[in-house]
Amino acid sequence: MREGDRLAAPAVGALTRGRVGAGSLAVVALAVGLLVLLGVPFVGSGYVVRFLTELFMLIVLAQAWNLIGGLSGYISFGHVVFFGLGAYATGLLMVRLGLPFAVALAGAALLAVTFAVLIGLPILRLRGHYFAIATFGVAEGMRQIVTTASGLTGGGMGLNVPPLRPPPFLAAALGGNVAASSGLYYYLMLALLVVTMLVTWLVMHRRLGFGLRAIRADEDAAAVLGVDCTRYKTIAFALSALFPALAGGIYAIWFSYIDPVTVFGLNFSVTMVIMTLLGGIGTLWGPVVGGVLLSVVGEVLWGKFLELHSAFLGAVLVLVVIFLPRGVVATAREGRKALTPAAIRRNLRRYSV
Amino acid sequence: MDIILQAVINGLLLGGIYAVVALGFSLVWGVMNVINVSHGAFVMLGAFATYWLFVLFGLDPFVGAPLAMVALFVVGYAIQKYVINLVVRAPIYMTLILTFGLDLLIVNLGLIAWSADFRSVNTAYAGQGLVLGPLVIPYARAGTLLLALLASAALFAFMDRTRTGNAIRATRMDLEAAEGVGVRIDRIYALTFAIGAALAGLAGGLISATLPITPIMGLTYTGKAFVVTALGGLGNMGGALVGGIVLGLAETLGATVFGPGYQDAIGYVLLVLILVVRPAGLLGRAYYA
């Protein structure tokens, strides 16, 4: 584990800077890290497995938000709508039509992507605040509709989703260290996380990513230079809808109960934004770093101050915005220099009146 | 027909509250380019201040609400001066996260202090109203609308007639020019946020006179403020007033036609439609695009 960490640190740095020189070392480090994660259900406790499953899910959500919010600068404030749609579509296709999980999940992904394109075409024309409000409106409106259409969705009472039977070989391999079903959901989320990271990396190093960054810098200039802004934004929005929908589908069978307040909750939308900002917006590893920090801090506070937990989280957010406005990854890259009183004062003066 | 008329009356009365909630929210957004997600938390604080004044001192909510307004003014001034002013020029999503953090902090401290239970201000005149044939105008709700309109009129007069009000408007129109002619931006920002919080406090006090309150009530009103602001146009105060009334009417009429469950959904569907069709709002133009 320690060996892996030591190797990973420079490799992560190299990847975030997009340098190719340390490429092979980075790949080795990532492979080691992945092997460690693959081994967790064999040795870790049920608590650790569950904690990591949730962490993977949150990082997937944050990274998906980062694809549209970080790269193109279109700040979505209702991204949970795709998570909720994924959860409900998967659950409903399984419960009402009796479809197997994999088929239901594919259907849910298709539905969420279609919805993203349909809703994206009009609202991606809005800029800045108006886009943020529109996404918020879409998510809240969808929550209300799912709550009210109780004949189909079960309404506020929620929906019971049949759990997935884990394959026998998994139970045999895990040898009873943790329940086979916990292992199954863990591996599903881990696989989704790996795919999300790979796709994000690809997008960032391909034409699409460059186009999106150009849109963030100056959309009108990008259009003049020949970037097909509408097409780029719509593709990015559809991709950023796909992964939360898949995460929602896995969440539905993992918890085997979903309700509108939870799976369309504003908390998820905000968590995506916060994790990305905390780590570093628009970077590949920002959502990962931010997600790990937020989850660990949240878990520690949760254990120590059961009642004050959320209030503390609020205070942490306030402090992060004031003292680390550019995120942990960018600040850490500057090393010790970033933490001197002069640097902190400079940070404060940059955005104050 | 009577049902529709009653829905119109209820919509007007509800719209008055939405208008006051949105006035403060829209003012802060328009002047400082800050989306104050904790606006609903200030509404909640105003409601609880009025509630405790009623329970502990027997003060009528229509007396308590203006006192809550004064208290929230002070709280708002301090929060802007010592917290938000530090990062007010950061990108919009940073201040959004900041106010979300404030919201979490305030709401959860409220939950610890007062628990999530619903509470009501039970006045002697609760449930009574002016009966006009088949129609009813509840006294408390009518008083709420009256106070809401008075507060809006006072705000408009302040912005139009006073030097300070003009300085706020100048800051909204052109920050650098205002600074150039000697407007102290930091104070104007603190004052603007204080007015926004005060209006939220008043709205909360008025809500407590007619509806049950709980520490987690704020989010609903932040949502309504979003919708009304989009309807009326960002930073457009007349728009906030009209938008509030329109939303109140749309909700009660919609609930009458489609069923009560759809009351909240109607507002959000309206929001997205308006944004797509007329991004600058029903009236006027946007100050920030």
> What are the residue ranges spanned by the domains of chain A?
1-43, 45-305
pLDDT for the residue A56: 97
Query: What top-level class would CATH report for the domain B2-277?
Result: mainly alpha
The pLDDT of B264-274, averaged and rounded, is 82
Residue B288 — very low, low, confident or very high, per pLDDT cuts 50/70/90?
A: very low
Contact A351 B86 (CB under 8 A): yes
CA dist., res. B73 & res. B60, Å (int): 20
Contact A148 B272 (CB under 8 A): no
**Joined tokens for residue A230:** 């509408």
**Chain A residue with the nearest C-alpha to that of B287:** A129
In 3D, which of A233, A269, A266, A260 has the Cα closest to residue A85? A260
CA dist., res. B78 & res. A98, Å (int): 57
Collapsing DSSP states into helix, strand and coil, what is residue B212?
coil
pLDDT for the residue B42: 98
Backbone angles phi, psi at B38, to 5 degrees: -85, 10
CA dist., res. A227 & res. A214, Å (int): 8
Cβ proximity of B144 and B9 under 8 Å? no
H or E segment to which residue A274 belongs: helix A266-279
The minimum CA-CA distance between B128 and chain A, rounded to whole Å, is: 31
Contact A325 B94 (CB under 8 A): yes
Contact A274 B219 (CB under 8 A): no
Contact A310 B108 (CB under 8 A): yes
Q: Give the one of A75, A148, A352 whose C-beta lies nearest to B93's C-beta.
A: A75
- Residues with Cβ within 8 Å of B71's Cβ and at least 6 positions away in sequence, in order, are B45, B46, B49, B201
Contact A311 B185 (CB under 8 A): no
pLDDT for the residue A7: 42
B289: pLDDT strictly greater than 80:
no
**Chain B residue with the nearest C-alpha to that of A146:** B265
Query: What top-level class would CATH report for the domain A45-305?
Result: mainly alpha
Q: Looking at B201-269, which runs of residues are DSSP E strands? A: none
CA dist., res. A35 & res. A37, Å (int): 5
Backbone angles phi, psi at B285, to 5 degrees: -120, 170
CA dist., res. A106 & res. A110, Å (int): 6
pLDDT for the residue A87: 97
Cβ proximity of A133 and A118 under 8 Å? no
Contact B261 A148 (CB under 8 A): yes
CA B141 → CA B45, B62, B121, distances in Å?
Answer: 20, 11, 13
pLDDT for the residue A300: 80
**Chain A residue with the nearest C-alpha to that of B185:** A353
Tally A–B CB contacts below 8 A.
152
**Chain A residue with the nearest C-alpha to that of B233:** A130
Residue B286 — very low, low, confident or very high, per pLDDT cuts 50/70/90?
A: very low
Q: Which residues of B touch A146 (CB under 8 A)?
A: none
B169: pLDDT strictly greater than 80:
yes
> A183-186 — which CB contacts under 8 Å span 24+ positions?
A183/A41, A183/A49, A185/A53, A185/A250, A185/A253, A185/A254, A186/A40, A186/A41, A186/A49, A186/A52, A186/A53, A186/A56
Backbone angles phi, psi at B138, to 5 degrees: -65, 135
Taking CA B234 as the corner, what is the angle to CA B228 and CA B236, rounded to the nearest 5 degrees? 90
CA A220 → CA A128, A133, A216, A227, A230, distances in Å?
Answer: 14, 22, 10, 10, 12
Question: Higher pLDDT residue, B141 or A193?
Answer: A193
Which residue type is seen at B150? L
Contact B105 A311 (CB under 8 A): yes
**Chain B residue with the nearest C-alpha to that of A345:** B86
CA B261 → CA A144, A178, B18, B192, distances in Å?
Answer: 8, 43, 19, 36
In 3D, which of A61, A55, A72, A79 has the Cα closest to residue A243? A61
Chain A interface disruption, residue of B25, B28, B87, B187, most A CBs within 10 A? B87
pTM above 0.90, yes or no: no
- pLDDT tens over chain A, length 353 residues: 344 444 444 444 444 554 455 678 888 999 999 999 998 998 888 899 999 999 999 999 999 999 999 999 998 989 999 999 999 999 999 999 999 999 999 999 999 999 999 999 989 988 777 788 889 889 988 998 899 888 889 888 899 998 888 888 888 888 777 888 899 999 999 999 999 999 999 999 999 999 999 999 899 999 998 899 999 999 999 999 999 999 999 999 999 999 998 999 877 888 888 889 888 888 999 999 999 988 888 788 776 766 677 787 788 788 888 887 777 777 777 777 777 778 777 777 778 88
